[in-house]
Structures are given as C-alpha cells and as structure tokens.
C-alpha cells in the first residue's frame, strides 16, 4: 500500500482571450472545475498505475470538499484519513489566456490547516510500503509525516515542489527525492542535471531529476547512474506529467522492481499523460502503461511514434 500525505485542491479554470487588467471585466470562453493538488494527483496516478493507495489530507466543509473526496474515492483510493475541516477547501484559481499563458492563485484553505499525522494517521502510515510527500502543505506538517514514516521504517519519496528551503530534519527522513530540473537547480544551485544529481545525493540516498521531453536521470549513493529517455510521443499538455511519473515510479518500486525498470515504467506512464489534456483526466491506467512497455520491448518505438 502507498500512502500520500498531501494537498487536495479544486482547480477553478477560466479560459479567456485576454486576461483582465485591474478594474476591468471581460467575458470568458469556458470554465471548468477540475480536482487537483499535487497530493491528490500523485494519489490518483499511483492508484491508476495499480497500487492500493491511502490519501491523508484535508478538505473544507464546502461543495468542493465533497467533490474532492468523491473524486479520490472514485479512483479507488482510501479516504478514511481525509479530514473535513471548517472553512473552504484548497483552491487553485487559474486564468488561461491566449497571450501570456496561465496565471494562478493558490489558496491553501483546508490544506493549510494540517499540522501533522495524528495517532490514526500514524497507524495507517506504519502499514505503507512508502509515503509520498510534496510541499503544498505547511512545512511542519510535512516534516512530522516524514518523521512518522521514518520511525515506522517506511520509505519516504519527496517531490520538492514548490521549491522551499529544505530543512535538514526533513532531508534526513527522505529516501528518494524527485525534483524536475528547475527544482533540482533551485535546491542545488546547479543547472546541469548530472551535477545537480550529485549534489542531491549529498542530501539523500537516491534521486531522480526529471527533464521533460529529455527523460529523467537517476542516481544512488551506492553508485548507480541511469538515464531513461522520454518515450517519443506527440505531447499536447504536460500538466501533471511530473506527478504521474512520481506516482508510477513509487508503484513500481513498491512492487520490488529495480531502479532501471521502475524508471521505464514511470516514463511510459508520463508519456501517456502528456498525450492527453488535464491532470487527473490524463493519468493512464495500468493496462495502458503495460501496453506502452510491451510496444517498446517489441522495438516498435524505434520506428514509429506510439
Ligand atoms: P509538471 O509540473 O507539468 O507536472 P514536471 O515539470 O514536474 O511536470 P517534467 O520533467 O516536465 O516534470 O516531466 C516528467 C516526466 O514526464 C519526464 O521525465 C518524462 O518521462 C515525461 N515527459 C514530459 N514531457 C514529455 C514529452 N514531451 N514527451 C514524452 N514524455 C514527457
């Protein structure tokens, strides 16, 4: 079982030709509410990739909270340890325009009220193969969850996003860190992925740096270095590619796969996610990931796009 202690947000997305200036009102083209947040995204990615998943987090006592809980449960995720707290759920207010791209306001809401795992959360964490953490919750809550996992001998996988200064008390509990190249550069000060990987291994035993369409690199203190190229696909929307990659990677490792095989599995999953729009809407199911891997094995990808 994989446990995710993280954020659940409702993404409220307005599509408009030109974003309004201060004081201006414009008419939008379309509006969507889409469940998101890095924690919920990773939980859904891992569940679709084939793991039993428990989500630990908080939603508000509003309609978005009901919808977020329903979405997680609908993906087959255990929501027993999702609290409903007074006030609004976490919201990402996103304006997508035709000119400058996206502007986003994240209001943490219920996510911001988490302070760390309670006794029931700890009991559940202790049964997990791994705990997936991101940094969209208060840092002290993330540190407390990492400590609880470490004390129970449970592997901790950290996605260090958004970038914040990482306290030593968190890093000492982390087994595997998975930043993208910008986050890796922010943490280590090195723009070169291999140099960043070396610097990350001074902090934690294993690291993966994802490189978008250039794939991902892996390193361990034991001396292994790997590069997994991205599966060549026609990318239409890379939203949540990273969360899909991490969710699938954690599933493969929990199944006992070696790092090289786990990277291939994660890369196949992420390649499917970038071929489709949205976050949770784009995350692949296990049989789709297995199909990509079989096609690669058969060498089909050497000749054609999948
Ligand atoms: P996001 O913030 O959009 O979730 P990210 O910046 O965290 O993504 P990336 O490094 O962009 O993460 O991508 C994660 C993984 O997704 C890559 O390592 C790769 O396997 C896959 N991927 C990303 N872009 C592409 C692409 N254009 N084609 C194929 N695979 C891709």
Band of pLDDT at residue 236, cut at 50, 70 and 90: confident
Exposed/middle/buried for 291, CB within 10 Å: 0-12, 13-18, 19+? middle
212 lines ligand 1 (CB under 6 A): yes
CA of 27 to the centre of ligand 1 (A): 33
pLDDT of residue 306: 45
Q: What ipTM was estimated for this complex? A: 0.98
Residue 111 clears pLDDT 90, i.e. is over it: yes
Report CA(32)–ligand 1 centroid distance (Å): 23
Give me the pLDDT at residue 96, please.
87
Active site residue 243: yes
What is the pLDDT averaged over residues 7-30?
93
CA of 50 to the centre of ligand 1 (A): 20
Give the pLDDT mean for 95-124.
92
Q: Provide mean pLDDT across the span 261-277.
A: 96
Mean pLDDT of 127-137: 98
Cα separation of 201 and 198, whole Å?
5
Tokens encoding 270: 């992420």
Catalytic residue among 121, 237, 243, 290: 243
- What number is the average pLDDT over the span 195-201? 98
> Domains in the chain and their CATH numbers?
2-20+27-301 (3.40.1190.20)
**pLDDT over 80 at 256, yes or no:** yes
Q: From the CB of 265, is ligand 1 less than 6 Å away?
A: no
Phi and psi based region of residue 68 (left: phi greater than 0; alpha: psi -120 to 50; beta: remaining): alpha
CA distance 49 to 54: 14
Mean pLDDT of the region 161-181: 97
Percent of the chain at pLDDT above 70?
A: 97
Ligand 1 atom closest to Cα of 231?
A: 29
Residue range 224-228: mean pLDDT, rounded: 98
Q: Which of 151-160, 165-174, 220-229, 289-298 has the lowest mean pLDDT?
A: 289-298
Q: Which helix (H) or strand (E) holds 16?
A: strand 9-16
Q: Is 271 in the pocket of ligand 1 (CB under 6 A)?
A: yes
Q: What is the mean pLDDT of residues 221-249?
A: 94
pLDDT score of 278? 78
Is ligand 1 within 6 A of the CB of residue 199? no
Q: How far does the centroid of ligand 1 lie from the alpha carbon of residue 152, in Å? A: 32
Mean pLDDT across 122-131: 98
**Lowest-confidence range among 45-54, 100-109, 258-267, 295-304?**
295-304
73 class by beta-carbon count within 10 Å (0-12 exposed, 13-18 middle, 19+ buried): middle
Map residue 273 onto helix, strand or coil.
helix
Ligand 1 lined by 230 (C-beta under 6 Å): yes
Kindly report the average pLDDT of the chain as a whole number.
95
Of the two residues 97 and 148, the one the predictor is more confident about is 148
Average pLDDT value for residue range 81-85: 98
Q: Are 273 and 24 in contact (CB under 8 A)?
A: no
Residue 300 confidence (pLDDT) above 70:
no
- Closest C-alpha to 161, from 182, 190, 130: 182
Residues 65 and 8: their CA atoms lie apart, in Å, by: 9
Does 270 contact ligand 1 (Cβ within 6 A)? yes
CA distance 61 to 277: 29
How much is the pLDDT for 299?
A: 77
Query: Which of 238, 267, 279 to probe ligand 1 with, by most ligand atoms within 8 A of CB?
Result: 238
The mean pLDDT value for 184-198 works out to 97
Whether the predicted pLDDT of 167 surpasses 90: yes
Q: Is the pLDDT of residue 152 over 80?
A: yes
pLDDT above 90 coverage of the chain, percent: 88
Verify whether ligand 1 is closer than 6 Å to residue 283 (CB atom).
no
The pLDDT of residue 203 is above 70 = yes
> CB within 8 A of 45, min separation 6: which ones?
240, 243, 244, 246, 247, 248, 269, 273, 283
């Amino acid at each position: 079982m994989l446990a995710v202690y993280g954020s659940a947000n409702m993404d409220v997305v307005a599509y408009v030709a030109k974003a309004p200036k201060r004081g201006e009102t414009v008419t939008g083209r379309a509006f969507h509410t889409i469940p998101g947040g890095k924690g919920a995204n990773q939980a859904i990615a891992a569940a679709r990739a084939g793991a039993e998943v428990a989500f630990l987090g908080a939603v508000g006592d509003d309609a978005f909270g009901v919808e977020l809980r329903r979405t997680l449960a609908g993906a087959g995720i255990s929501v027993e340890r999702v609290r409903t707290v007074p006030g609004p759920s976490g919201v990402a207010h996103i304006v997508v325009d035709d000119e400058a791209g996206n502007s986003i306001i994240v209001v943490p809401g219920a996510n911001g009220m988490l302070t760390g795992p309670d006794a029931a959360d700890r009991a559940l964490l202790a049964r997990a193969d791994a705990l997936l953490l991101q940094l969209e919750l208060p840092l002290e809550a993330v540190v407390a969850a990492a400590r609880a996992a470490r004390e129970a001998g449970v592997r901790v996988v950290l996605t260090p996003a958004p970038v914040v200064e990482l306290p030593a008390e968190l890093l000492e509990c982390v087994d595997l860190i998975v930043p993208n190249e910008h986050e890796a550069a922010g943490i280590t000060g090195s723009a070169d992925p291999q140099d960043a990987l070396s610097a990350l291994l001074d902090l934690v035993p294993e690291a993966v740096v994802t490189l978008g369409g250039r794939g991902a690199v892996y390193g361990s203190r034991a001396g292994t270095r790997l590069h997994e190229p991205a599966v060549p696909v026609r990318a239409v929307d890379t939203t949540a590619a990273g969360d899909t990659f991490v969710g699938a990677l954690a599933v493969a490792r929990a199944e006992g796969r070696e790092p090289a095989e786990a990277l291939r599995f994660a890369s196949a999953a992420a390649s499917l996610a970038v071929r489709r729009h949205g976050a949770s809407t784009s995350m692949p199911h296990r049989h789709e990931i297995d199909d990509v891997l079989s096609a690669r094995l058969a060498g089909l990808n050497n000749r054609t796009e999948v």
